Amino acid sequence: MTAYDALLLLSFGGPEGPEDVIPFLENVTRGRNIPRERLEEVGEHYHLFGGVSPINGLCRDLKAAIESDFAAHGVDLPVYWGNRNWTPYLADTVRQMKADGIRRAAAFVTSAYSGFSTNDQYLDDIARARDEVQDAPEIVKLPVYCDRPGFIDPFTDAAKDALRRVPVGARLVFTAHSVPLSQPNRELYVAELERAARTVADGAAPGAPWDLVYQSRSGPPGQPWLEPQITDHLERLHKEGVNGVAVVPIGFVSDHMEVKYDLDVEAAERAAELGIPFARAATPGADPRFAALPRHLLGETE
């Protein structure tokens, strides 16, 4: 079926305990001009969760779901997992793949879009990890999948479910991670987000208004980033008299910290203060349709 001899699940990584939080944040922000106060604030978000990022468990679940999907469809490929910013570090995974005799792996990244943070940085990570390992296996990133049914359909179902938890007429609000306006390929990222949001909105609430807004901004105050922020947007919707909000984190694939804190804690609190009924849609996570995406994408590339 395929010219590959392994699948590599490539993710962001996150701390596994309180002592990991600061070194993890240093890894993420090295050379990136993020204010110290912002780091301390984000560190507190992790400490609220015992210093453990949800992303690691989510990756383990997704890896198991991909393995089940492969087994159910006769795809005989081992699945490896490596991260950009924390253990299991990608370079260590590549070293293990090499030791196991892997020669050419396909990489499925836990980020669906084109753009710098969402695609290009992962390509750089692959190149850097391969440089660290002598005769490293070839690693080919699978195509961007933000328009695929395996990504869109779970969101459409989740958006419908979230709409059922707020009053009829509530606004569908899509969120994605903000990035600096100066970031390379920012237009492409936004265009893909708009297209994905429109597709989900058409499926979940045909004809109803929807918005695409941003979250988790981290740069210095003077630097322009994609706006509006979800919290500001909630205020605006409140002033407009909107009677409820169903938030769909279309920019992410799983319920990691940006979802569990920035939406489920921060945005939900803001909505409560404003008296707006608020529901947050699930992300694809380990949905079997999402876990089937690597197999579908493998079948298309050689």
Ligand X SMILES: CC1=C(CCC(=O)O)c2cc3nc(cc4[nH]c(cc5[nH]c(cc1n2)c(C)c5CCC(=O)O)c(CCC(=O)O)c4C)C(CCC(=O)O)=C3C
Residues that bind ligand X (CB under 6 A): 12, 14, 25, 28-29, 32, 34, 38-39, 42, 53-55, 110-111, 117-118, 177, 179, 216, 218, 251-252, 256-258
- Lookup: tokens for 44: 């507190």
Query: How buried is 77 (Cβ within 10 angstroms: 0-12 exposed, 13-18 middle, 19+ buried)?
Result: buried
Q: How far is the CB of 247 from ligand X (least distance, A)?
A: 16
Tokens of 23: 């070194």
Distances (CA, A) of 248 to 135, 174, 194: 43, 5, 13
233 labeled binding residue: no
Q: How far is the CB of 297 from ligand X (least distance, A)?
A: 17
- For ligand X, the closer of residues 4 and 122 by Cβ is 122
In the complex with ligand X, which residue's Cβ is closer, 96 or 183? 183
CA distance 205 to 25: 38
Question: Is residue 68 a known part of a binding site?
Answer: no
User: Is 258 marked as binding a ligand?
Assistant: yes
* Smallest distance from ligand X to CB 6, Å: 21
* Residue at shortest CB range from ligand X: 218
Q: Which amino acid is at 295?
A: R
256 or 295: whose CB is closer to ligand X? Answer: 256
Bridge-based pairing of strands 138-141 and 171-177 is unpaired
- Residue 110 or 156: the one with the smaller Cβ distance to ligand X is 110
Q: How far apart are CA 261 and CA 278, in angstroms?
A: 15
What is the torsion angle, in degrees rounded to the nearest 10, for the CA atoms of residue 223, residue 146, residue 235 and residue 280? -130
Tokens of 100: 């196991």
The answer to the question of whether 47 is labelled as a binding residue is no
Whichever of 237 and 293 has its CB closer to ligand X, that residue is: 293
Quote the least distance from Cβ 213 to ligand X, whole Å: 14
Longest dimension (CA), the chain: 61
Tokens linked to 275: 């008296």
**Distance in Å, CB of 226 to ligand X, minimum:** 10
- Residue ranges for the known binding site for Fe-coproporphyrin III are 53, 122
Which residues are annotated as part of the binding site for Fe(2+)?
A: 177, 258
Specify binding-site residues: 53, 122, 177, 258
